[in-house]
């Protein structure tokens, strides 16, 4: 299976290069993640040196959930963040537009988890207004950058007034020595890790480019405010390589 997965991914065009072939950014992202799905969890744990577990725990804590809350995890992938939330909330809904990711999330569900997964697009969520008390997303915003404000507006729409959003995303460290080391790792070493785990390399070159082209934490925080979130904060983790953004939907929203 590893060889066939690698061949599938190798045949796709990186999302940020798709304009040269006349394709769609969103379609390229979907194809890439569908092909990566069988080895996605292994790559995440291996490439982060296991730090991803702590990032998810911090995200869940930042929501300040109660046992009666319902949480939506947008672009859930194989559901790791959703599953990390199960002990803190009444129920978790995870959605992703990559069918293969959702299939693997479904396969990980255990009886009593209180977790449901749906195939859905982040910019057009199939959920009622103010349905959730918490919204999360991990390392997905770079992959919806062309429609970022639409995605965040949908997250805002389905969040109950007073509810909190928590978004994890990669960042470029501010301290020069750490920034250089991180750049070396993501540009040169991570593609080799990706090839070892998945059999392909181009998605991990894209990962490096997408991190370099992503907003600074201050810029992304301002976008969250523009969409309508209040009390926007961010916390840098792992020497500034990851940012955890949080925001609250005001209890009285202006239309």
CATH number at residue 98: 3.40.50.150
Spell 158-194 as b/e; 16+ CB within 10 A means b.
Answer: bbbeebbbbbbbbbbbeeeeebeebeeebbeebbeeb
106-122 mean pLDDT = 94
Tokens 């207004």 belong to 129
pLDDT, one tens digit per residue, over 148-202 is: 999 999 999 999 999 999 999 999 999 989 999 989 999 999 888 888 888 888 8
Q: 8 lies in a domain?
A: no
Residue 2 pLDDT > 50: no
pLDDT of residue 202: 86
Least confident of 65-79, 125-139, 199-213: 199-213
**48: CB partners within 8 A, 6+ apart:** 55
pLDDT of residue 19: 59
Least confident of 52-56, 115-119, 132-136, 182-186: 182-186
Q: Which two tokens stand for residue 79?
A: 């559901």
Q: Is 226 exposed, middle or buried (0-12, 13-18, 19+ CB in 10 A)?
A: exposed
pLDDT of residue 4: 36
pLDDT, one tens digit per residue, over 236-245 is: 999 999 999 9
Neighbouring C-beta atoms of residue 242, cutoff 10 Å: 22
Closest CA to 209 of 14, 10, 29: 14
Q: 188 lies in a domain?
A: no
pLDDT of residue 200: 83
For 243, the domain range is: 48-171+214-248
Neighbouring C-beta atoms of residue 29, cutoff 10 Å: 24
Confidence of residue 12 (pLDDT cuts 50, 70, 90): low
Q: What is the mean pLDDT of the chain?
A: 90
Angle, CA 83 vertex, CA 229 and CA 135 arms, to 5°: 10
pLDDT, one tens digit per residue, over 198-251 is: 888 888 899 999 999 999 999 999 999 999 999 999 999 999 999 999 999 999
d(CA 192, CA 169): 22
Residue 47 pLDDT > 80: yes
17-37 mean pLDDT = 80
Q: Which two tokens stand for residue 204?
A: 């991990």
Q: 14 lies in a domain?
A: no
pLDDT of residue 46: 82
d(CA 171, CA 212): 8
Tokens 């953004």 belong to 245
Q: 70 lies in a domain?
A: yes
pLDDT of residue 42: 86
For the chain, how many structural domains are there in total? 1
pLDDT of residue 7: 40
Question: For the chain, what's the residue count?
Answer: 255
Residue 8 pLDDT > 60: no
Confidence of residue 6 (pLDDT cuts 50, 70, 90): very low
Q: 91 lies in a domain?
A: yes
- Crossing angle of helices 217-227 and 148-158, in 10° steps, is 50
Q: 32 lies in a domain?
A: no
Q: 24 lies in a domain?
A: no
Q: 131 lies in a domain?
A: yes
């Amino acid at each position: 299976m590893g060889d066939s997965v690698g061949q599938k991914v190798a045949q796709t065009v990186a999302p940020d290069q798709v304009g040269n072939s006349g394709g769609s950014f969103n379609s390229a992202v979907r194809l890439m993640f569908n092909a990566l799905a069988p080895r996605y969890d292994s790559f995440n744990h291996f490439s982060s040196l296991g730090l991803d577990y702590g990032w998810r725990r911090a995200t869940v804590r930042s929501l300040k959930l109660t046992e009666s809350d319902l949480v939506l995890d947008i672009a859930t992938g194989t559901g790791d963040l959703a599953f990390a939330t199960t002990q803190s909330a009444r129920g978790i809904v995870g959605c992703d537009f990559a069918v293969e990711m959702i299939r693997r999330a479904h396969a990980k569900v255990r009886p009593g988890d209180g977790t449901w997964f749906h195939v859905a697009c982040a910019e057009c969520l199939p959920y009622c207004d103010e349905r959730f008390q918490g919204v999360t997303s991990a390392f997905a915003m770079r992959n919806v950058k062309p429609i970022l404000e639409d995605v965040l507006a949908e997250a805002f729409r389905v969040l109950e007034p007073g509810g909190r959003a928590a978004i994890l995303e990669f960042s470029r460290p501010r301290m020069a020595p750490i920034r250089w080391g991180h750049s070396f790792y993501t540009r040169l070493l991570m593609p080799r890790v990706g090839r070892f785990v998945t059999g392909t390399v181009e998605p991990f070159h894209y990962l490096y480019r997408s991190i370099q082209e992503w907003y600074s934490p201050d810029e992304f925080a301002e976008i969250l405010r523009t969409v309508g979130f209040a009390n926007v904060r961010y916390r840098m983790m792992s020497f500034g390589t990851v940012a955890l953004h949080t925001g609250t939907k005001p209890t009285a929203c202006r239309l």
